[in-house]
Structure formats: C-alpha cells, structure tokens
Amino acid sequence: MSFGTMVAMLGGGMLKSILIYFCTLAGALPLGLLVAFGRMSKNRILSGIVKVYISIMRGTPLMLQLMVVFFGPYYLLGINTGTGYRFAAVVIGFVLNYAAYFAEIYRGGINAIPVGQREAAQVLGYSRSRTFMTIILPQVVRHILPAITNEMITLVKDTSLAFAISYAEMFTLAKKIASSHATLMPFIISGVFYYVFNFLVAFVMERCEKKLSYYR
C-alpha cells in the first residue's frame, strides 16, 4: 500500500475522531455544569445521587463505560440497536464520562469565588441567576480554563478508545492497516495527527487564557 493511499484511508478515520471530539465537548461542557449544580444542591438526595454518578464515571475505565452503553440496551432491555447505534454509543459514553470530570472542575471553580461577592450582589438587588451569569461565571471560566484545557487535550487521545466497540475512527483503522500490511507507518501517521491536534488545542486555549487574564 502506498503512502498516499494509507493517508487517504486514515483521513476518513481522522474526521470521525474529530467528530467524536467536538460532539463530546458540545455535550459534556453544558452537562457538566448541570451536574455540578446537582452536586452542590442543598437537596441531600439529589446531591448524593450525583455524587455516586461522578464516582462511578471517574472510578471505572472509559472503555468499560463504552461497552456498557453499547451492549447494555440489548443485554439489559432486549433492544436490538444495530450497527447504526455505534456512533451514538461512542458519543453518549464520552459525554457521560467527561461531564463528570468537567462537573468537578466547575464545582472547584465556583467554590473558589469568595462568598462576599454573592452577598454584595444580593445587597445590590441582583437575582441569583443574574449574580451567577454576570459575576460568578466569568470568574469561574477564567479560573478553570487551565484544568479544562488539560481535559480537552486528554480527550483528543481518548477518542482512540472508540475501538472498544469497533467504531472505525483513526486509531482503529491504523491498527487494521498495520496488521494487514505489517508496517508501523499507520501508527506514525496517527501519532503525528494526535500531536498536531493537541498542539492546536493547546495553542487556542492558551490564547483564550491570555485574553481572560487580568495580569498579562
């Protein structure tokens, strides 16, 4: 197999990896905020349920979670999902997993904001929602951006775990090509892709941090 043909084959898997990445962020970032609110709720039942969810998502392998999401409907409910469900299972598994991590990052950022700021906003007549959106959230975003960046970089590499349910993203295709043609070149190409993708993510997020920082 020529180098050009190999790159072309991996290109389709590369697009699937990128799609997993952005779909995960689109779902996990807002869901993580909702989970953080549940974790911080004064309702002990809700807070306890969310705490267990976070513990399970962070305490078990993502690969295992993908398998549960993909095979669970059939073995637990007898629902035959078919191969078309494979991509949806990947996204659901990734979103549920990363939402738990983002939730703890959000919670740490929110708790880092001095209580006095909330009290001052109440004195000025701000509602709780307005206080959060205009005063708390902008500061939280600035504080948590480095931690969010780390998770985003990890996510780039974690997209390769989709192979656990035979979803043909780039790493899965690289393994197939490498095994059928006895060459390491697909892995080298994949490694370059992951590095470049991570470099771009880190570059963009660093620019965001500089724009949000009051000290630069």
User: What pLDDT, in 10s, does the model give residues 122-175?
Assistant: 777 777 777 877 777 788 888 889 999 999 999 999 999 998 888 888 888 888
Amino acid residing at 167: Y
pTM of structure: 0.88
- Residues 34-49 have a mean pLDDT of 93
Domains of the chain: 3-212 (1.10.3720.10)
Q: Which two tokens stand for residue 48?
A: 């306890």
Report DSSP state, residue 135. Answer: I
For residue 77 the two structure tokens come to 């409910």
pLDDT of residue 28: 96
pLDDT one-digit tens code per residue, 50-102: 999 999 999 999 999 999 999 988 888 877 777 678 899 999 999 999 999 99
- Mean pLDDT throughout 211-216? 62
Using an 8 Å Cβ cutoff, are 151 and 21 in contact?
A: no
Determine the pLDDT at residue 119. Answer: 75
